[in-house]
Amino acid sequence: MKKYILFLWVSSVSFITQAQNVKPEPFSPIRVIVFGAHPDDCDLGAGGIALLYSSMGHKVKFVSLTNGDKGHQSMNEGQIYYRRLKEAKEAAKRFGIEYEVLKNNDGELMPTLENRLEVIRQIRKWNADIVIAPRTNDYHPDHRNTGVIVQDAAYLVIVPNIASNVPPLRKNPVFLYFRDRFQKPNPFRPDIAVDITGVMPQKVHGLDAHVSQFYEWLPWTNQDLENVPKDLEERKKWLLAAMEKRSSVTPEIKISLDKWYGKEKAELVKQAEVFEICEYGKQPTTEEIRKLFPMLP
């Protein structure tokens, strides 16, 4: 009996000593880069996950491929360009991310070789694990062409002799599409659904930085400008209601939430950001998706 107790004691001491000698793996931040056609596009499609990633110490960058200099009903191009740049910088502070606005003119973005090489360089410099962009079926030509440009960059980010002044990535990132409502030629597929209910007010706070868009230009295009509240807090509540509707859970999204959260937790999700996996990048397993999206349970 004494020998048995001694054996247990020695084993315990040995186990504790080994445990103390095991060093925890160093934290390696996940690196996400999001491309939009205009300042505020990335914020709309991925502002919620940007907040979740940044709160966990991961790195997110938004890149607008145009300067948005046409998006206003009364300001000229120079005025709106500088205003939107300032708004994007403020949004970056609120989301806790980096934000870059390129100098292509709004409404004139084309899938040129120059733009493709710039996107390749952006992805490589960021050393991206995840790349997010719009799909190529959309009402706005800048949105469609952003999708084309990023798709065309997907494989080439690992090719050394393309954009050779920036070292290639050693692995192809996971490329994802934003959620959209367009049905032709094929509807959006919600492969990954992330609960953003808890950060929805913070997301709206980030969107609120784009005053020229959410309280002036977009309501004007929708013939709804007279309904925008004048009071700063009231208009933020107005924007919150609109964004909650935009991020609501459809039956298709509910199926995806059930997969990632389980049915019980999925029932509690009110708003979600949802992404489709692009077939041109890395095709992640379920386990890899959970590692790349650590906010999933």
Task: List CB contacts of 106: < 8 A, sequence separation 6 or more.
Answer: 38, 66, 67, 68, 69, 70, 71, 142
* Closest by Cα among 147, 155, 148, 182 to 171: 155
Predicted local distance difference test score (pLDDT) of residue 8 = 41
Residue 16 has what pLDDT? Answer: 47
pLDDT for res 19: 47
- At residue 24, the pLDDT reads 66
Sketch the domain layout of the chain as residue ranges: 31-292
Q: Please list the ranges in the chain whose pLDDT falls under 70.
A: 1-24
Inter-residue contact 37 to 132 (CB < 8 Å): no
Contact in structure between 29 and 65 (CB atoms under 8 Å): no
Residue 27: the pLDDT is 85
**pLDDT tens column, 30-50:** 999 999 999 999 999 999 999
CATH number of 31-292: 3.40.50.10320
By CB neighbour count within 10 A (0-12 exposed, 13-18 middle, 19+ buried), where does 127 fall? middle
Residues 6+ apart with CB under 8 A from 67: 39, 81, 84, 85, 101, 102, 103, 104, 105, 106
